[in-house]
Every structure is written in structure tokens, then in C-alpha cells.
């Protein structure tokens, strides 16, 4: 049986929120089968549990925010991406403020944390959401066109295309593909950092955004070039980060997908809209498990090893 996974032990990290600039501590803890990923605001007078689900994602400006009642947790996408990349099904995330720490701006720090805690197999079948029909969302026209779609595929693959008219981005790849059965999330995707332009920073800060952002947790560009002294981690780091974000956004559906995702200039908002569209189309998906793990699609059966 291809089993669900949680952590072997708990692990902690301290950092600042990218947008809030607030100091925050997170504690990642093992949880029971079928719990899913649950954020717990432990700083509130009464702790509030916020389970991850597509409808719980309520604000998608610049980051994905979960909320329940008046409680929220902002910028969950890089941690969610790491959980998807390592095939973690069940986890509690205790958090002491309303934003997940940005750490190095990529998912690599979360991958390191989760791997250090160890992955445990649980005695319950891993449930996948299998896409059986094409589902697509589109916005805008001409130069402002964006779209995202899910199609049937026996495995999990993603392709993402960006269009940034900027010398530092133009000179790198603007399209990337990732297939769980062929590529390594930790090696090929997880290290891609978030990025921003100095010309937008002032506007963002006056709107209370990017207060914790800087050269140690983002690629920063002026009108011509990358300002980080160390340069890029991948030649196509920009589009790889957008794909990293999409993996995290899509994992908010609560289960790993069996699907092919493709997107053109998509972002957190459109990715969430795609999930909501998928969930309303009950004929377009079902839930599947693999009694015989050798029958699971490539990539997923390899993840079945604990470490």
C-alpha cells in the first residue's frame, strides 16, 4: 500500500515574515493520518486551527493567505510547496504570528527542516485527487492574458511560462517543465528564490507589503540587472520560482494531484481559482489510492521510502 506520511519528530524555525517583517517562530509537528496540513495560531488567546483547503485560501495578493474566522496565516506557499515536494500528507504547523517566515526566500530551508525531522510512514492509504477531465481558467486578453489548466495525466507534471520584459529575466529561460517521475524537486526546484524589482518596493512598502524583504531572502533587480552579489542559483531561477509557488498553491487542494498542470503568466489568485473551478466540477475528478505501491505513478512510489 502506498502510505500517508508525516514527520518522525518535531522541528522548529525562527525568521521574519516577508510582507509583515514580523519575527515569527514555527514548530512543525507529526499528526494523525487524514489530518492533512493544519496551521495553528498559538499566539492567540484561544489557539485557532486552520486546516489547509482551497476554500480557506482567501487572499491571494502577492502571497497565499489562509483564514478561518478572524484568524489568518499569510505566505504559506513555500512551506506548502516543500510539503508537496516531499510527499508529506499530515502535519501540524504551530505558528506565533500571522505570516510564515520567509527564511531564504525559497523552499530549500523548509525541505532541509522537514528532512532533518525525518519522514514517517503511517498505516493509512495515501489519497490522491485524480483529474479526469480538462479544467481551465483564463483572465484578460492580448498582452494581459493569463491562463492555468489541469488535464488528466498518470503522474504529476507541471509546465509554467512567464513573460517578463526585463533584461535580467529575458536572458534566462521563461518556460520550465517539471515531472515528478523524472526530475528531483529538492534538486531542481526547491532552491529557486522569490524575486522583486526595486521600482516596486516603495509601492509595496507603502501598502504594508515586503517589509521583511531584502537581498538575503529574494532576488532583487533594478531596471537592468540582478543586484544580489552571489547572482542566480539556477539559470532560469525566476520561472522556477513561479513553478515552486504553483506546486505550493495547488497542494492547498488538500491532496497530491494526479494531473498535468500548465500555466501561462499565472499566479496565486489564478491558481486558487483553478482549484475552486476543479472542485465545483465533480465529474472532473475522483479520489484514488494504491493498494499495490508498484502500480503508483513514477515519482510517487519512490517517495514511499521513509528516511
Cite the active site residues. Answer: 268
Q: How far is the CB of 51 from Zn ion (least distance, A)?
A: 22
> 209, 235, 225, 246: which is closest to 85 by C-alpha?
246
Question: How far, in Å, CA of 111 to CA of 94, rounded?
Answer: 17
Query: 270 and 136 in contact (C-beta within 8 Å)?
Result: no
Closer CB to Zn ion, 87 or 105, in the complex: 105
Q: How many CB atoms lie within 10 A of CB 256?
A: 23
Question: Which region among 17-25, 93-101, 149-157, 244-252 touches Zn ion (by CB under 5 A)?
Answer: 244-252
Question: Any contact of residue 245 with Zn ion (CB under 5 A)?
Answer: yes
Strand ranges in 101-140 using DSSP code E only, listed in sequence order = 119-125, 128-131, 135-139
Question: How far, in Å, CA of 192 to CA of 242, rounded?
Answer: 9
* Longest CA pairwise span in the chain (Å): 54
Question: Which region among 228-236, 239-247, 257-265, 284-292 touches Zn ion (by CB under 5 A)?
Answer: 239-247
Closer CB to Zn ion, 98 or 245, in the complex: 245
Alpha-carbon 192 to chain mean position: 12
Q: How many CB atoms lie within 10 A of CB 85?
A: 25
Q: How far is the CB of 77 from Zn ion (least distance, A)?
A: 5
Q: Which of 122, 194, 266, 271 binds Zn ion (CB under 5 A)?
A: 194
Q: How far is the CB of 301 from Zn ion (least distance, A)?
A: 29
Query: 258 and 131 in contact (C-beta within 8 Å)?
Result: yes
Residues contacting Zn ion: total by CB under 5 A: 2
Measure the CA dihedral 104/106/108/114, to 10°: 90
Query: 67 and 50 in contact (C-beta within 8 Å)?
Result: yes
Q: How far is the CB of 79 from Zn ion (least distance, A)?
A: 11
Q: Using CB atoms, what's the residue nearest to Zn ion?
A: 245
Closer CB to Zn ion, 2 or 247, in the complex: 247
Residue 83: what are its φ and ψ, rounded to 5°? -65, -40
Question: Which region among 119-127, 168-176, 242-250, 273-281 touches Zn ion (by CB under 5 A)?
Answer: 242-250
Q: Classify residue 296 by burial, with Cβ atoms within 10 Å: 0-12, 13-18, 19+.
A: buried
Q: How far is the CB of 298 from Zn ion (least distance, A)?
A: 27
Closer CB to Zn ion, 196 or 299, in the complex: 196
Closer CB to Zn ion, 114 or 247, in the complex: 247
Question: Which region among 106-114, 120-128, 188-196, 218-226 touches Zn ion (by CB under 5 A)?
Answer: 188-196
Instruction: Provide the binding-site residues for Zn ion, judged by CB under 5 A.
Output: 194, 245
Amino acid at each position: 500500500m502506498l502510505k500517508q506520511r508525516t514527520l518522525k519528530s518535531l522541528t522548529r524555525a525562527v525568521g521574519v515574515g516577508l510582507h509583515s517583517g514580523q519575527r515569527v517562530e514555527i514548530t512543525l509537528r507529526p499528526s494523525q493520518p487524514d489530518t492533512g496540513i493544519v496551521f495553528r495560531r498559538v499566539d492567540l488567546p484561544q489557539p485557532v486551527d486552520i486546516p489547509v483547503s482551497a476554500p480557506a485560501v482567501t487572499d491571494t495578493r502577492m502571497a497565499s493567505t489562509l483564514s478561518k474566522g478572524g484568524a489568518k496565516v499569510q505566505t504559506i506557499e513555500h512551506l506548502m510547496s516543500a510539503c508537496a515536494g516531499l510527499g508529506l500528507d499530515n502535519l501540524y504547523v504551530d505558528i506565533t504570528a500571522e505570516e510564515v517566515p520567509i527564511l531564504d526566500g525559497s523552499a530549500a530551508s523548509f525541505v532541509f527542516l522537514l528532512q532533518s525531522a525525518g519522514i514517517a510512514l503511517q498505516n493509512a492509504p495515501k489519497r490522491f485527487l485524480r483529474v479526469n477531465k480538462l479544467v481551465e481558467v483564463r483572465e484578460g486578453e492580448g498582452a494581459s492574458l493569463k491562463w492555468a489548466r489541469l488535464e488528466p495525466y498518470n503522474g504529476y507534471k507541471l509546465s509554467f511560462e512567464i513573460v517578463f520584459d526585463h533584461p535580467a529575466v529575458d536572458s534566462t529561460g521563461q518556460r520550465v517543465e517539471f515531472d515528478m517521475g523524472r526530475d528531483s524537486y529538492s534538486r531542481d526546484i526547491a532552491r529557486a528564490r522569490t524575486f522583486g524589482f526595486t521600482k516596486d518596493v516603495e509601492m509595496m512598502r507603502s501598502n504594508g507589503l515586503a517589509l521583511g524583504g531584502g537581498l538575503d531572502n529574494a532576488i532583487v533587480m533594478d531596471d537592468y540587472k540582478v543586484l544580489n552579489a552571489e547572482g542566480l542559483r539556477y539559470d532560469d531561477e525566476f520561472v522556477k520560482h513561479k513553478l515552486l509557488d504553483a506546486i505550493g498553491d495547488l497542494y492547498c487542494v488538500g491532496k497530491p494531484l494526479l494531473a498535468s498542470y500548465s500555466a501561462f503568466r499565472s499566479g496565486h489568485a489564478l491558481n486558487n481559482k483553478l482549484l475552486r473551478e476543479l472542485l465545483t466540477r465533480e465529474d472532473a475528478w475522483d479520489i484514488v489510492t494504491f493498494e499495490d505501491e508498484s502500480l503508483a505513478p513514477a515519482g510517487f512510489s519512490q517517495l514511499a521510502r521513509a528516511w
